[in-house]
Amino acid sequence: MNYTKCWLDYKPIPENLRRPCYYEPVLLASGRVAETAAEEYCISMSEMLDEPVEMRRGEPVDEPAVYLEVEEELQTAETDAALDRQTFVIRGEEDNIIITGKSEEALLQGVFAFTRMVYLGEIDEKLPFFCTPSTPLRMMDHWDDMDGSIERGYSGRSFFYDDYEMMYNERIEMYARLMASIGTNAITINNVNVHEKETFLITDVYLQQVKQYAELFARYGIRLYTSVNFAAPMQLGGLTVCDPLDPDVVAWWEKTVKHVYEVIPEFGGFLVKADSEGRPGPFTYGRTHADGANMLARALAPYGGTLVWRCFVYNCGQDWRDRQTDRARAAYDHFMELDGKFDDNVILQIKNGPMDFQVREPVSPLFGGLKKTNMMLEVQIAQEYTGQQIDLCYLIPMWKEVLAFDIGGDGTAVSHVVCGIAGVINTGDDENWTGNDLAAANLYGFGRLAMDQTLSAEQIANEWSRLSLSREDDVTDTVVPMLCGSWATYEKYNAPLGIGWMVTPHTHYGPDIDGYEYDRWGTYHRADLHGIGVDRTGVGTGYVEQYNEPWRSRYADQATCPEELLLFFHYIPYTYELKTGKTLIQHIYDTHFEGVEEVEAMKKQWEGLEGKISERSFACVKDRFARQLENAKEWRDRVNTYFYRKSGIDDEKGRTIYK
CB-CB contact of 143 with 191 (8 Å): yes
Strand, coil or helix: 184? coil
Residue type, 338: L
Which ranges of 377-494 would DSSP assign to H, the alpha helix?
396-404, 414-417, 440-451, 457-468, 473-493
One-character DSSP codes across 38-103? HHHHHHHHHHHHTS----EESS--SS--EEEEE-TT-------HHHHTT-EEEEEETTEEEEEESS
Find residue 161's DSSP bridge partners.
166
Strand order through the sheet with 96-101: 56-57, 25-27, 66-70, 96-101, 88-93, 129-131
Q: Where are the beta strands (DSSP E) in 596-648?
A: none
- Cβ neighbours around 93 below 10 Å, total: 9
Q: Does 277 qualify as catalytic in the annotation?
A: yes
Write the DSSP symbol of residue 309.
Answer: E
Q: Which residues contact 51 (CB under 8 A, 6 or more apart)?
A: none
Residue 351's SS3 state is strand
Nearest to 35 by CA among 217, 183, 219: 219
Q: How many residues does the chain have?
A: 659
How many whole angstroms separate alpha carbon 500 and alpha carbon 359? 7
Element (H, E) at 380: strand 375-380
Q: Which candidate in 145, 275, 356, 590 is catalytic?
A: 356
CA pair distance 49, 59, nearest whole angstrom: 24
Between CA 8 and CA 181 the distance in angstroms is 8
- Are the CB atoms for 371 and 382 separated by under 8 Å? no
Q: Which of 54, 63, 170, 277 is catalytic?
A: 277
Spatial separation of the C-alpha atoms in residues 260 and 232, rounded to whole Å: 14
**Residues pairing with 154 in the sheet:** none
356 catalytically annotated = yes
Is 637 a known active-site residue? Answer: no
The residues near 169 (Cβ < 8 Å, ≥ 6 apart) are none
Q: SS3 letters for 210-246?
A: HHHHHHHHHHCCCEEEEECCCCHHHHCCCCCCCCCCC
- Active-site residue, from 243, 378, 384, 491: 384
Which amino acid, 639? V
Q: Catalytic residues, which ones? A: 277, 356, 384
